[in-house]
Structure 1
Amino acid sequence: MTQDNGPRDDENGTPDEPQDPMKEMLRGFLGDAVDSPEVDEMLRSLGMQGGVPGAAPGQTPGGVPGMPGAGEAGANPFAAMMAGNPAAFGALQAQVQAMFNADDSAVNPDLARDVARRVAVAGGDPSVGETAQRDADQVAQVASLWLDAATEFSALDGRARVVSRSEWVEATLPTWVQVLTPLAEGVNNAVAGSLEGRFGDDPETLESQLPPGMLPPGMDLSAVMGQMTPMLRKMSASMFSVQLGQAAGALSREVVSGTDVGLPLVEGEEVLMVPANVREFADGLEIDPAEVMLYLTVRESARQRLFAGAPWVRSQVIEAVRAYAADMRLDTDSIESKVASVDPTDPEAMQSALGDGLFHPEPSEAQRQALARLETWLALIEGWVDVVTDRATASTLPHAQALAETVRRRRATQGPAEKTFSGLVGLELRPRRMRDAANLFAAMEDRHGAAARDAVWDHPDIAPDAAALDDVLGYVEAWGRNEPGEATGTDFDAELEALLRDAQGQAEDSDGSSGSGESEGPGESGEDPGRT
């Protein structure tokens, strides 16, 4: 392009310094507000070359008269709002900084946390005072005593803590980020890839996709495109983070405790309760709210005892969720069509277009397998909690059975928050087969005692699986045959030692008959194969 259409200096007629491409793009949004020192400082802090050294405050060399958004701030309502409302500008600055200051990770935890907290407090988020905490301490002590008599797992080292909905977000969001990062990576790659494919490598392609007149004549589009790719990836990461925040915030308004959804969201041995949601749970039950709180605290304490006493359970569940998320198929055709239908310079329109429908309705075979593993683990955890809670409360709480039935009904119907979470993140939080799992643990206790019921968590190799839920009685009977102890009278250590002796003897016989000095079989090293 040979013609110089850039602005001229009024005094000497020479072209001004080269325009900053990213700032000129923002001019289409902000008008003259983009020329403020605050915007210069914000862009400089973001490493986006905002402003030019030596420019006067409120002035950016290279302003283009007649461009959309140029002229008086009143010509652009958004610019007028920014100019007259410092608080609004501060909010904009914070949101832009949150998006662009983030690292290259697939999820922006700060942005997700901010969105989740906003959703959590919408409509009210009662604070938790010292009185509620003292009551929770007493309730947790009673729950611990009852569980001591109901399970072999030891009491927790952590204390009970009552939290508000926004505090539940703070406590659980790190785990959400951990387990959903593989899914975020897939979403980000799909969205960013669609946008990059739409823009292409040709500057003219980019110009054709932008609103007419948004880019001033003479702008170096290659400079814009050089910054576009990382910006698009951060934008897609921000969109997923917003969705995660919306989903977690919605859940915070329904969960009654830290791990109420079945996932080990709370690290350590802390029992987390949400009194505001417990009160809503108790509404209409005609049961003393204190009894409801005690019952739900027993459930949460039992779940946390399991996670603390068998640490592998937490890691297995987390990895199952990550595997499920990693195998999630995205509806890339839908993403392509939605991305193509919106203005790429309008983040709100992009977020609205991608608000749901990202996930393919027909999962792949790999995803079905991952989902089956995840559902089995979650069902086993909740089934065990059902049985242990029943043993701990059946003779101590007058409405234990009624509360257990309420929990089952609540679990059977997906609430609004879970529907939101499923739609935005693609993860079903209420697995089927919990009743089968509860029947399995009840049968284990009836057949072999409470110690055996809890011993199934000693190692993942002996824990029940989906096949065990298909044949509960078969699993229970096989436990009696395959585990050492009084049920069979079999000394497995002696049996193993005899097998090893036989193998060693056969190897020695082979050495003597061949005379080759070489041996075959398990004893070829000349050492006891049972030793290392």
Structure 2
Amino acid sequence: MSNLPFGFGVPDPDKGGDNDPARGGSGQSGSGGGNPADAFNQLGQMLSQLGQMLSQAGSSSGPVNYDLAKQIALQRLSNASSNMDEAAVRDAAHLAEMWLDPATILPAGATSTKLWSAKDWVDKTLPTWQRLCDPVARQVSNSWMSALPEEAKQQAGPLLSMLGQVGGMAYGSQLGNALAQLADEVLTSSDVGLPLGPDATGALLPANIEKFTDGLERPGSEVLVFLAAREAAHQRLFAHVPWLRQRLLATVEEFASGITVDTSALEQLASQIDPANPATFEQAMQSGILEPQTTEEQKAALSRLETLLALVEGWVDVVVADAVRERLPGADALRETLRRRRASGGPAEQTFATLVGLELRPRRLRAASSLWQLVGDQHGIETRDGIWAHPDLLPTAADLDDPLAFAERLSGELGSADFSADLDDPIAALERAERARRETEGESAAEAEEPNSDQPDDDSGSGRA
């Protein structure tokens, strides 16, 4: 879980604020000292910002004020320019698709590849973020409301509605700041590992790619083609595995449905709030008192989500490596750079944890890559990619720990030839696997009984023969 409850975060150190000594703040609310004119200016700015937030209060009826989130994100982002043109991106995408064709049985998934600015990324991905954030925010809000005694609800009356709007604005503000940070660093529409953008549309962010390339010792054209191949591979998977997008988003929703709040913390929260000092409310929320509790059901959902994301990223990692290794001199170095970028808990993982309340473990990426590589080497790309035909055929978290056993099980239970023939009928494959399992269990039971009945005759068996 994230260190802070969803929707509440520490002030941005880059922006400073009333409690930022570097910007003339005192570090304490309502303290004396300093230039009175500065204090009045800060008060005026605060009231102006509060007025803007309140003016947005009625524009969203959901648990998160997405209008405010979008407004904040776009205001924080600069109009960064790029020297990259559309022709270069189209050529890179076309080349990447040609190289991917022999590396996977999945055909091209993107009908077009766009150039997005950071602001375009916010605008195009916000609908998906809304689907990801709504269940978490709604469940947290409902947990807080249900924890209140009925008498308190009746006495509060309209105040509860106002608190709901304030909560929506707080969530929206946090979401806007987080999206701005992420939009300033993502390289493609699928950089987070989730299908955030519109269907069948690939996207590269040239300004961010140029910043990323500045820290590498590789030509910009090489980096562009490599990233275009990763984006194209993601699009192939999301386009031709119809259940995948829904399963990823539904798993987040399943996690959110199990959120509960420790109701005993409400009394402690009330004791820390001074109605005459609004700063105490923010401090109490930042203390983590109302951080949702993790249940066993949530842990199971989180494990499934981590495994599924690892399998997606691992498959893309292997397929792209096979497609470009002999064509791009720096392919292995770029592959390792992006692996480390994910494994370091970079902006994508941190922002996802802040927005949705989930901590992802990208260390599973290497295990998933090893599994897909092993399956491809032993059974071919048809069997490897055919595993995506049905979610029940996918490796589990235990399989990531022992990829060799999974590869051997494919040979023993499914059979490479039969499995490839039944890619269009995953139910038949599942039924065959179940029959093989029952037969294996029957043989094991028979072997367990055989020594007891035949042991006395073993020593003389050769004499009879």
**Shorter-chain TM-score range:** 0.7 to 0.9
Query: Residue 142 of structure 1 aligns with which residue?
Result: 95
What corresponds to 2:111 in structure 1? 158
Report the Cα distance in structure 2 between the residues aligned to 1:393 and 1:442, rounded to whole angstroms. 15
How far apart, in 2, do the equivalents of 1:387 and 1:188 lie? 42
CA drift of 1:237 comes to 2.1
Residues 485 and 292 (structure 1 numbering): CA distance in 2 closer, same or farther, change over 3 Å?
A: closer
**Shift, 1:259, TM fit:** 1.3
Residue number in structure 2 paired with 1:102: 60
Match for residue 373 of structure 1?
A: 304
- Cα displacement (A) at 1:328: 3.6
Offset, 1:446: 0.7
For the structure 1 residues 286 and 393, does the alpha-carbon distance in structure 2 shift closer, same or farther, using more than 3 Å as the test? same
Does 2:131 align with 1:200?
Answer: no
SS at match of 2:158: helix
Write the letter of the residue equivalent to 2:299.
Answer: R
Correspondences of 1:72-151 after superposition (within 5 Å): 94-103=52-61, 105-119=62-76, 121=77, 124-127=78-81, 132-151=85-104
- Structure 1 residue matching 2:85: 3-state secondary structure: helix
Is the alpha carbon distance of 1:96 and 1:439 closer, same or farther for their aligned partners in structure 2, counting shifts above 3 Å?
Answer: same
Equivalent-residue separation in structure 2 for 1:193 and 1:345 (angstroms): 26
Contact 2:191 2:348 in 1 (8 A): no
Aligned CA RMSD, in angstroms, stands at: 3.6
Q: Which residue of the partner structure matches residue 226 of structure 2?
A: 295
Look up the SS of the partner of 2:389 in the other structure: coil
SS at structure 2 position matched to 1:474 = helix
Runs (5+) with no aligned partner, structure 2: 1-36, 433-465
For 2:276 and 2:204, the matched residues in 1 are separated by 43
Matches of 1:425 and 1:267 in 2, distance apart? 20
Q: How far has the Cα of 1:186 moved from its partner?
A: 2.4
Cα separation, partners in 2 of 1:337 and 1:430, compared to 1, 3 Å = same
Please show how residues 11-410 of structure 1 align to structure 2 within 5 Å: 94-103=52-61, 105-119=62-76, 121=77, 124-127=78-81, 132-191=85-144, 200=152, 225-330=156-261, 337-338=268-269, 340-342=271-273, 350=281, 353-355=284-286, 357=288, 360=291, 363-410=294-341
Aligned-residue identity in percent:
37
Question: Residues of 1 paired with 2:384 and 2:206: CA distance?
Answer: 31
Distance 2:151 2:213 in 1: 54
How many Å apart are 1:438 and its aligned residue?
A: 0.7
- Corresponding residue for residue 71 of structure 1: none
CA contact (8 A) 1:188 1:237 kept: no
Q: Which amino acid aligns with 1:142?
A: L
Greater Cα radius of gyration, structure 1 or 2: 1
Report if the CA contact (8 A) 1:155-1:305 is conserved: yes
Q: Which amino acid aligns with 1:248?
A: L
Task: Tell me the distance in 2 between the aligned counterparts of 1:349 and 1:167.
Answer: 37
> Partners of 1:265 and 1:396 in 2: how far apart?
29
TM-score (norm 1): 0.65
TM-score (norm 2): 0.74
* Further displaced range: 183-192 or 275-284: 183-192
Distance 1:459 1:296, change over 3 A: same
Of 342, 355, 364, which aligns to 1:433?
364
Aligned to 2:463: none
What SS does the corresponding residue of 1:445 show, helix, strand or coil? helix
CA distance in structure 2 between the partners assigned to 1:77 and 1:293 by the alignment: 50
- Larger RCO (CA within 8 A; separation ≥ 6): 2
Aligned mates of 1:301, 1:484 — CA distance in 2: 30
Report the Cα distance in structure 1 between the residues aligned to 2:420 and 2:198, rounded to whole angstroms: 40
CA 1:80–1:463: 2 relative to 1, 3 Å? closer
How many corresponding residue pairs? 390
Residues 418 and 378 of structure 1: CA distance in aligned 2, closer, same or farther (over 3 Å)? closer
